C-alpha cells in the first residue's frame, strides 16, 4: 500500500508537470505573437501618426520627399498570390489525385518524394532560375505569343498587353505558383489517402467512374483538408520574398497589364530596408510589415470561419 500511494503521488506530480509545461508553452506562443505585434506597432507609430489611413490607399513612394504609400505593394502582394493560387490549385489537385488514385504503385513513392523535395529548394534558387533561365525564355517565346493571341479579346487583351520584358507581375506569379505547388500537393495527397477504401470500392462496385468517385466521394470527404492546403499555399505565397524580388521588377509604378513590373510588400522590404535612413522612412517600411501581418491574419481567420461553417453544414445535413 505505501508503494502504491507513492506511485500515485509520483504520477500526480508528473501529470501536474506535464499540464503546467504544455500550458506554459501555449501561453508563451501567445506572448511571443503579442510581442511581435506590439514591436511592429511601436516601430510603425511615426508613420501611422504622419500618414494615418491614407498610407494604405496612397500610391506615392518617394524616399527623397518622404512621401510613402502602401497601395502598390499591397496590390502586388494580393494579385500575385491570387494568380499563383489560380494556377497552383488545379495542378496540385491533379497531382494529388494521380498519386492516390491513378499512379502505378511503383511510381507513387519516388514521385511523391520528388514533389516534396521541391518544397525544400531555397526560394533564392527559384528566384535565380526565374531571372536567368525562365524570364529570357518567357520574354522571347511566350509573352509575344500570349499578347498576339489575346490582342482582340475584350478585357483579357488589356491584361496581357505591354512590352515582353520577361520580368513582371505575371512572371512572378508563375514562379510563385511553382513554389506553392509542393505544399498544396502534400496536404491534398495526405488527406486523400485517409478516405476509407470501402467508400471508394463501394462506388466502383455500383459502376461509378474514377472521376465520379473522386468528385462524389473523395472531395466531399476531404473538403476541409483541401481548403486547409489551399490556405497553407496562400500563406506561403503572401510572405514569399526573395524569389519575387528577383523577377517582379520592383517598381512602385501603376500596373496597367500583368506584364508590367510591380512590387510586393515583402519585395519592398527586402529591397529598401538596408538602405533606409530617417525615422519616417524606416517607420513606413515597418508599417508595411505590419500590414502584411494583418493581411495574413485576416486570411487565416477567414479560412477558419469557412472551415467552421462547413463543419456546421455537415452536422445539419446529417
The model's pLDDT over 71-105, given as tens digits with 9 standing for 90+, comes to 999 999 999 999 999 999 999 999 999 988 888 88
Instruction: Give me the residues paired with residue 262 across strands.
Output: 249
Q: What is the pLDDT of residue 256?
A: 85
**HEC string of the chain?**
CHHHHHHHHHHHHHHHHHHHHHHHHHHHHHHHHHHHHHHHHHHHHHHHHHHCCHHHHCCCEECCCCEECCHHHHHHHHHHHHHHHHHHHHHHHHHHHHHHHHCCHHHHHHHHHHHHHHHCCCHHHHHHHHHHHHHHHHHHHHHHHHHHHCCCCCCHHHHCCCCCCCCCHHHHHHHHHHHHHHHHHHHHHHHHHCCCHHHHHHHHHCCCCHHHHHHHHHHHHHHHHHHHHHHHHHHHHHHCCHHHHHHCECCCCCCCCCCCCECCHHHHHHHHCCCCCCHHHHHHHHHHHHHHHHHHHHHHHHHHHHHHHHHHHHHHHC
Stated pTM of the model: 0.87
Q: What is the pLDDT of residue 314?
A: 57
* Tens of pLDDT, residues 16-73: 888 889 999 999 999 998 999 999 999 999 999 988 888 998 888 888 888 898 999 9
| Residues of the chain under the 50 pLDDT cut | 315, 318
Q: What is the pLDDT of residue 318?
A: 44
Amino acid at each position: 500500500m505505501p508503494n502504491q500511494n507513492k506511485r500515485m503521488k509520483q504520477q500526480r506530480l508528473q501529470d501536474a508537470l506535464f499540464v503546467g509545461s504544455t500550458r506554459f508553452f501555449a501561453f508563451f506562443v501567445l506572448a511571443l505573437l503579442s510581442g511581435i505585434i506590439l514591436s511592429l506597432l511601436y516601430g510603425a507609430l511615426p508613420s501611422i501618426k504622419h500618414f494615418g489611413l491614407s498610407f494604405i490607399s496612397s500610391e506615392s513612394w518617394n524616399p527623397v520627399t518622404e512621401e510613402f504609400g502602401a497601395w502598390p505593394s499591397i496590390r502586388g502582394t494580393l494579385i500575385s498570390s491570387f494568380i499563383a493560387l489560380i494556377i497552383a490549385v488545379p495542378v496540385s489537385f491533379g497531382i494529388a489525385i494521380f498519386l492516390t488514385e491513378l499512379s502505378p504503385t511503383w511510381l507513387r513513392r519516388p514521385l511523391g518524394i520528388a514533389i516534396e523535395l521541391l518544397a525544400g529548394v531555397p526560394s533564392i534558387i527559384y528566384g535565380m532560375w526565374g531571372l536567368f533561365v525562365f524570364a529570357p525564355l518567357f520574354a522571347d517565346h511566350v509573352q509575344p505569343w500570349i499578347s498576339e493571341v489575346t490582342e482582340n479579346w475584350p478585357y483579357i487583351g488589356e491584361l496581357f498587353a505591354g512590352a515582353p520584358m520577361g520580368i513582371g507581375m505575371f512572371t512572378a506569379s508563375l514562379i510563385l505558383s511553382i513554389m506553392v505547388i509542393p505544399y498544396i500537393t502534400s496536404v491534398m495527397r495526405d488527406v486523400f489517402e485517409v478516405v476509407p477504401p470501402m467508400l471508394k470500392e463501394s462506388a466502383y462496385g455500383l459502376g461509378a467512374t474514377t472521376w465520379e468517385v473522386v468528385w462524389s466521394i473523395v472531395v466531399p470527404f476531404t473538403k476541409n483538408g483541401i481548403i486547409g492546403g489551399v490556405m497553407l499555399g496562400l500563406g506561403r505565397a503572401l510572405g514569399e520574398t526573395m524569389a519575387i524580388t528577383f523577377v517582379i521588377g520592383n517598381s512602385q509604378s501603376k500596373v496597367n497589364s500583368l506584364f508590367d513590373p510591380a512590387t510586393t510588400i515583402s519585395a519592398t522590404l527586402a529591397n529598401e530596408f538596408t538602405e533606409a535612413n530617417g525615422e519616417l522612412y524606416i517607420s513606413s517600411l515597418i508599417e508595411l510589415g505590419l500590414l502584411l501581418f494583418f493581411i495574413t491574419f485576416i486570411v487565416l481567420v477567414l479560412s477558419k470561419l469557412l472551415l467552421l461553417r462547413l463543419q456546421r453544414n455537415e452536422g445539419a445535413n446529417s
